[in-house]
Structure 1
Amino acid sequence: MSGGLIALLDDVAALARASAASLDDIGAAAGRASAKAAGVVVDDTAVTPQYVREVEPQRELPIIWRIAKGSLRNKLLIILPVALLLSQFAPWALTPILMAGGTYLCFEGAEKIWGAIAGHDKHLEPVVGSEASADESTREGGKSGEDKVVSGAIRTDLILSAEIMVISLNEVASEPVLSRAVILIIVAIGITALVYGVVAALIRMDDVGLHLAGKDSAGAQRVGKALVTAMPKVLQVISVVGTVAMLWVGGHIILVGLDELGWHPLYEFVHHAEEAAAAALPAVSGAVAWVVNTFFSAILGLVWGAVVVLAVTGIKAITGRGAGQLTTRHPNSSASSAASSR
């Protein structure tokens, strides 16, 4: 009897160890998947503050909270089931879908750079949730105006969230379907909390600075003034990093996707360049290989995105259309205005 009990306890212990290892694997996979979506996450963080432009300060956090809940619904109730069904029954579709998302990232990054060069820092974003509609809605005031801002932001989030989830899914496509579901749920919750937590902190940074600047303490005043001064610069840095990250991630998606679809020269060239750089600096081979891959991925992303920008511009010029399809947004100026409007 005692032998049977000991055997049972051994089985329970083994099951517990296996479960812990499985949780560790899921956690590690979720971390890798989240890292692959870095470009979209940074862009999402840089753009979201525009939705609380010219909004009363006491309504900023409630609006961000409502957008965050909508973003989570997008990821868990709409995108997750569709992504899992595709990965289970049409896995061949993931690479083209992923490349479409990568192309969009390259387009955004290249358009931002072109806007900066041309002297009008802007880029085009498909549909809904634009700066103009947000401004008009908030000026309407009341619950209906706020509802329009939130619904527009959630619709725009659907695009960015779809990219995040498909990029993450591609990283764990070989996992069992249940593990895939758990990993994507973790990614969805974690990234949503990260993005909107950072956004909430950013939009309140200047308020904290103003509060500290009003204190009697000279030290508190210095910190407060520094926070107020730093706010536009921080958002500008985030926007620049977001642009680079979009080109890097988008270019890497295109690089790998072309290889998976059967066109190997670019991937092989970058792979050989990584190997050569790693061999030249063996002490830091991993870091050097990553830098080389990132550099060439960003260059490819810029070229790929520039071609798309030219194509979109040409189509608009020929057809005379686009006002209803594309709209201008100014993430830098919008965020800076939010910091200075209080």
Structure 2
Amino acid sequence: MPSGLLALLDDVALIAKTASASVDDVAAAAGKAGSKTAGVIIDDAAVTPRYMVGLDPSRELPIIGKITLGSLKNKLIFLLPAALLMAQFAPWLIVPVLMLGGAYLSFEGTEKIIEAVTGDHHGEATLAEADTPEELEQRQVAGAIRTDFILSAEIMAITLNELTEGGGLDSIWMRAGALAIVAVAVTLVVYGSVALIVKLDDIGLHLAKRENGAARKIGRAMIAFVPKLLKFLSVVGTAAMLWVGGSILLHGFHELHIFDFLYQWQHDAALALGGDNGMLVWAVETLGAALVGLLFGFIIVQIVTWLFGHHPLHGGGEPVRKA
């Protein structure tokens, strides 16, 4: 009996050790895969604050809460099962799906540049006038969740591609765990950042009313800083979309042996201009990817404009005003 008990304890210890190693593998794979989605995360954080325009400031945090729940639903209920099924039964679809997302990111980034150059911001005039504040809030939340679904799909596709290529996670349950970790972590980072951003001016206003002179100066500085921060995030988000979208397209073309000369051009240019300087090589590769994203984005913008006359997810009409 004692020997049987010892054997059982050994088996339990072995199972626990294996489970612990599996958890470590899942966490490590999730961390590595999540880092690859940085560009899309920046864009997601940069896009969301515009859905707060025209809304009662007291409703901003509840609205962000609704969008956060919608984002988690997008990722965990719809996209995660779809990603697992694709990896299990149609792994050859991962690259084309990634490329569709890359094309969308390139299109969005290019459209923002065109709007900035021409001054035609029809992409921001997406929602019709609402009759009540409640209806306006519902429309804004729905629009944000719809945009989040597209960006979340790209995040999950990038993560899945990293897990299948280099994650070493053969079990569907381990992949599910890693995808879930990335989904929850990304959502909390993005919408936690958005909540902080949209409330910075309120915090600054509160400080500006304090009797303490230093607090008032800090408050005024924060109020002046928020518009600059939003503008900076918009620029960074646009650059990130072109860079990430172009990179995805280049690697997809290379794997599918289509337009492979573009991948080779980027690689050769990086080596020729960067030499042995790793940072410079990365900078040239990033610029090359952004240019490719801009090229294909411009082509897609022309096609979409010809077909729809405007961004199909934006619609038309006047910008939303405060109800």
Query: What TM-score does the superposition give when structure 2 sets the normalisation length?
Result: 0.87
1:134-213 equivalences in 2 (<5 Å)? 136-137=129-130, 140-142=132-134, 144-174=135-165, 175-176=169-170, 177-213=172-208
State the Cα distance separating 1:291 from its structure 2 match.
2.5
Unaligned runs of 5+ in 2: none
Task: Give 1:272 shift.
Answer: 4.0
Comparing 32-41 and 216-225, the one that deviates more: 32-41
For residue 322 of structure 1, the aligned residue among 271, 295, 309 is 309
Residues 70/123 of structure 1: CA separation in 2 closer, same or farther (3 Å cut): same
Contact 1:112 1:123 in 2 (8 A): no
Where structure 1 has 5 or more consecutive residues not aligned to the other structure, the ranges are 125-129
Whole-Å separation in 1 of the counterparts to 2:274 and 2:177: 35
1:302 maps to which residue?
294
Residue 51 (structure 2) pairs with residue 51 (structure 1): yes
Distance in 2 between residues matched to 1:289 and 1:99, nearest whole Å: 24
Structure 1 CA distance, aligned partners of 2:139 and 2:265? 48
CA contact (8 A) 1:37 1:164 kept: yes
1:18 is displaced (CA, Å) by: 3.7
Q: Which moved more, 1:194-203 or 1:268-277?
A: 268-277
User: For the residues of structure 2 that align with 1:325 and 1:259, how far apart are their CA atoms?
Assistant: 30
Q: Secondary structure at the match of 1:55?
A: coil
Check conservation: 2:46, 2:233, Cα contact below 8 A.
yes
SS of the residue aligned with 1:173?
A: helix
| Closer, same or farther: CA 4–267 of 1 in aligned 2, 3 Å | farther
Q: State the distance in 1 between where 2:255 and 2:272 align.
A: 23
The amino acid of 1:258's aligned partner reads F
TM superposition shift of 1:310: 2.5
| Alpha-carbon distance in structure 2 between the residues aligned to 1:131 and 1:66 | 22
Question: How big is the shift at 1:57?
Answer: 1.5
Q: Are 2:216 and 1:221 aligned?
A: yes
Q: Please give the TM-score of this superposition, normalised by the length of structure 1.
A: 0.82
Matched, 1:23 2:19: no
Instruction: Kindly indicate whether the alpha-carbon contact (under 8 Å) linking 2:304 and 2:310 is maintained by their aligned counterparts in 1.
Output: no
TM-aligned CA distance change 1:322 to 1:292, over 3 Å: same
Structure 1 residues 24 and 273: CA distance shift in structure 2, 3 A: farther
C-alpha RMSD of the superposition:
2.7
Residue type of the partner of 2:151?
Answer: L
Superposition deviation, residue 104 in structure 1: 0.6
1:270 partnered with 2:266: yes
Residue 17 of structure 1: CA displacement?
Answer: 4.2
**8 Å contact from structure 2 (residues 127, 315) kept in 1:** no
Instruction: Look up the equivalent residue of 2:246 and give its one-letter code.
Output: G
State the alpha-carbon separation in 2 of the partners of residues 145 and 303 from structure 1.
36
Distance in 1 between residues matched to 2:15 and 2:81, nearest whole Å: 29
Cα 1:196–1:275 shift into 2, 3 Å = same
- Alpha-carbon deviation of 1:160? 1.7
Going from structure 1 to structure 2, the CA distance change for 1:323 and 1:291 (only over 3 Å counts) comes to closer
The one-letter amino acid of 2:262's match is L
Q: Which residue of 1 aligns with 2:79?
A: 79
Shift of 1:6: 6.2
Q: Which residue number in structure 2 is paired with residue 127 of structure 1?
A: none
2:83 is equivalent to residue 88 of structure 1:
no
Kindly state the Cα deviation for residue 10 of structure 1 after the two structures are TM-superposed. Answer: 5.5
Alpha-carbon distance in 1 for matches of 2:122, 2:99: 20
Q: Residue 115 of structure 1: CA displacement?
A: 1.8
* 1:14 to 1:308, Cα distance in 2 relative to 1, 3 A: same
Partner residue, 1:231: 226
What does the per-residue CA deviation read over 1:285-321, in whole Å, with 9 as the maximum and x for residues that have no partner?
A: 3x344333222211211112122223333x14xxxx4
